[in-house]
Amino acid sequence: MPRVFSGIQPTGEPHIGNYFGAMRNYVALGEQYGKNSIYCVVDLHAPTNPAAFDPALLAARTLDMAVANFAAGLDPQKVIFFVQSHVREHAELGWLFTLLTPVGELERMTQYKDKAQKLESTPAGLLMYPVLQAADILLYKADTVPVGEDQVQHIELTREIARKFNHAYGETFPEPRAVLAEGALRIPGVDGQGKMSKSKGEASTLGILEPLESIWQKLRVAPTDPARVRRTDPGDPDKCLVGDYHKLFSDAETVAEVYAGCRTAGIGCVDCKKKLMVGIGAHLGPIQERAAALQADPDYVRDALAQGAREARAIAQPIMEEARERVGF
Ligand code: ADP
Ligand code: NA
């Protein structure tokens, strides 16, 4: 049976990019593989990007990330769901992997370049991020990694690290493969500034747990096809993030209607956005209701995470022991 691993950073509110790009696949794979599907709030990764990290918010954001995943349909009784820092072996295996990874290759990682370029001083941890990510995955000998398209390069590096370790110390780790969401989604931010990302702050994201009124306020002013200046100009819904979002949230009939309406100037952008809100409400409403119930019971969430950490450690510790012995410790 395959073993699934994926992580999500507690660097901010979980957003619809995380949901459609990754979390929905967590749920689907969880249904299929039960306790062989392992999901982790990767809190050790969060401080690598100082621009998106606040120690005072870390605990709450970690809990929110668990709540959002449980509310989205992940059942902690059926899968393994835990917090990375509760399992110390992640950092230990990460150290062993730093010894096998050329700095030059890490410097070529797209995400690193993007994030480093915005910082005045770059922490070494930001460079090491994909090495720790490789340890996250291989600590469970996972071979199946549901992620968004933005992570493919990192999973490629994980494969290389596994190969190098096996070559240097003997066959130990599988070479995992990325499993992309259908359509290999890369969901744009609502501010029109490229990929939606927690690290870009709330202007970029539509949160899964964000009140619908607040979502509407962002959507209302969201850029649409820039060529559509007047209400009577036809637009190109394929060049519009509202068009992209409709494909995620609206039924096929509505998508066809607004796409045709946009191309013929039969519908204005404001009405198109209002129609989108209907789909968003239908999707997020039930998730937000379940989240409210979980938020009212933080002990349940904490207990589930503690149980998840015990289950994760039971798998991780013997694998870490094996890796230590291979290297000679
Ligand atoms: P973020 O970039 O928002 O900080 P993470 O790094 O925590 O998100 O990524 C969690 C998961 O969500 C990863 O599998 C990532 O590929 C996916 N993901 C993040 N942003 C997007 C997006 N805009 N579109 C599709 N998938 C995304
Ligand atoms: Na990311």
Q: Read out DSSP for 146-191?
A: EE-GGGHHHHHHHHHHHHHHHHHH-S-----EEEEPTT---PBPTT
Same domain, 124 and 160: yes
Same domain, 285 and 312: no
Same domain, 122 and 246: no
Same domain, 128 and 260: no
Does the residue 193 lie in any domain?
no
Name the residue with the closest Cα to ligand 1, atom 22.
Answer: 17
Does the residue 277 lie in any domain?
yes
Same domain, 124 and 106: yes
Does the residue 199 lie in any domain?
no
- At 183 the pLDDT is 67
pLDDT(34) > 80 = yes
List residues near ligand 1 (CB under 6 A).
8-9, 11, 17-18, 21-22, 147-148, 150-151, 185-187, 195-199
Does the residue 200 lie in any domain?
no
Same domain, 156 and 233: no
- Greatest Cα pair distance in the chain: 72
Ligand located closest to 111 CA: 2
CB 71 within 8 A of CB 294: yes
pLDDT-derived band at 21, boundaries 50, 70, 90 = confident
Does residue 118 have an active-site annotation?
no
Q: Closest Cα partner for 47 from 151, 204, 199?
A: 199
**SS3 state at 248:** helix
CA of 196, closest atom in ligand 1: 23
Same domain, 129 and 269: no
pLDDT-derived band at 17, boundaries 50, 70, 90 = very high
Same domain, 266 and 238: yes
Same domain, 150 and 238: no
Does residue 275 have an active-site annotation?
no
Q: Which two tokens stand for residue 36?
A: 């062989």
**Which of 18, 39, 115 gets mutated to test ligand 1 (max ligand atoms within 8 A of its CB)?**
18
Tell me the mean pLDDT in the region 216-223.
97
Does the residue 262 lie in any domain?
yes
Same domain, 80 and 176: yes
Q: Cα 174 vs. chain centroid, distance in angstroms?
A: 22
SS3 content of the chain, % helix, strand, coil (to 5): 60, 10, 30
Exposed e or buried b per residue across 89-104, where buried means at least 16 C-beta atoms within 10 angstroms of its C-beta = bbebbbebbbebbeee
> Residue 245 belongs to a domain with what CATH number?
1.10.240.10
Residue 128's CB is within 10 A of a number of other CB atoms, namely 21
- Residue 274's domain comprises 211-290
Tell me the mean pLDDT in the region 156-182.
96
> CB-hemisphere CA count at 13 Å for 45?
25
Structurally, the chain folds into a number of domains equal to: 2
Tell me the mean pLDDT in the region 238-250.
96
Does the residue 16 lie in any domain?
yes
pLDDT(116) > 70 = yes
197 is in an annotated binding site: yes
